[in-house]
Structure 1
Amino acid sequence: MDAVNNSSPQRDDAQNSMGETYYAGPVLMRGRMIPHETATSRLLGEESSTNWLHEDPWRVLKIQSEFVDGFSTLAELGPAVAVFGSARTKPGDEVYELCEQIGRTLAERGMGVITGGGPGCMEAANKGAALAGGVSVGLGIELPHEKELNQYVNLGLKFQYFFVRKVMFAKYARGLIVTPGGFGTLDEMFEMLTLIQTHKTRRSPVVLVGSRYWQGLLDWVRTTALEAHMISASDLDLIRVTDDPQQAVDWACEQ
């Protein structure tokens, strides 16, 4: 019996016009896309430039290393609450003292305190936790105006990529306390609210401290955003507001 020929004239013509097929790992290449040297020859060849240090494939490895460092460092952290707030708050300010009290109270509850590791509200919360003998975590980010983690961090990591840092907050904080802050604080708060709203992470308490500071934003959410059907009424239940640091800690520690 003659062998069955599954090829067709059209398929043969296409293969002939495209030329050879070359596989570089999972990548298929044909015709002009086939490289003149193999991956191994490029690896072992002389380097004429170090531009590769700043190109996307290398960035992927750097991003991967940040995830590995974060997961391995924080895996055994234990229960913790993230405290967000402005880097511009000064020692002696009312909000600074409030954050320090929050950090201290969390540590007395046996909860780790996770902040962005910078100055201001972050430093205050770390200070309260560290001086109370608690775990004081700082997840810093590479910024022009924040060179080092604050002195009250007793477990710290520095990140280059905001999104990797946010994953660490989302994964290892069982609750979130948000004190007055600017764009960075708002970004972190809404990122967490979005993850909870869309069921990408477990439902965690999100507590805003400072009713006068947050009132305008909350009014806009409850009227403009809700009335325009951009959010659901149930989304408002994701946020709690208080002026009492003790109550903020109580709510943030709820299971």
Structure 2
Amino acid sequence: MRRARRAGEGGGFLREVRLNPEASTGRYPYTLPVVRALARSEGLALDAGVTFLVGDNGTGKSTLVEALAVACGFNAEGGSQNFRFATRASESSLGDSLLLTWSERKPRTGFFLRAESYYNVATEIERLDKEGGRPLLPSYGGVSPHERSHGESFIDLVTHRFGPHGLYLLDEPEAALSVRGCMAVLARLAELAGQGSQIVVATHSPILLALPGATIYGISDEGAIERTDYDGALPVRLTRDFLAAPERYLRHLLDEA
């Protein structure tokens, strides 16, 4: 694994993630390719601004982002560090085995967006807003996420809840977004990075990966993490190849069906 830089040199709030050398690696999730790569390395350096994790299904990128969130003190189902609800425990034990290196700067705010459980987060937002005290919905666009489409609620979140000097961990935010929605989120991530925020994103979206200045790490099935550029990122290469000659892929795929 090529490290982007030495820990402690520049960067955002979270500078490096390592796997505890005493962690048991003979069972899930420690058998995932990304965790095997961490176990063989000195650690994964995280730059300031936006870092993307890309790889095929099963490489463990979402599991790593979830574990990062847990290790940072965020609720495993999503939300801020103040969210403490639990619907159904499905997170892995990896978060307990990560060793994080922090800078002296501390984030002013933060959020973990886990696309698959954002419905549960929206329910908790409604509950907290109704409890009284400081209204919560204005931070999410003034409307309950349950009263917006899935994609609209994601855009409301990054537009109104995310702010400068924050730490944001996003697991496949494109899951609910149209192409135009992905473009809107790309623009917002660029704005947040320019305001001193640090963002780590697991994604399959070629659109989000086009963000200028972002760091992209590719995770292979064989258990390697390598820094790559936009043109070399797996979602970009596969999407370009498919759009250039869909009939070639369709012939192969449909012949197998």
TM-score, normalised on structure 2? 0.26
Structure index of larger Rg: 1
**Structure with the larger helix share:** 1
Structure with more contact order per residue of length (Cα contacts < 8 Å, sep ≥ 6): 2
TM-score, normalising length: structure 1: 0.26
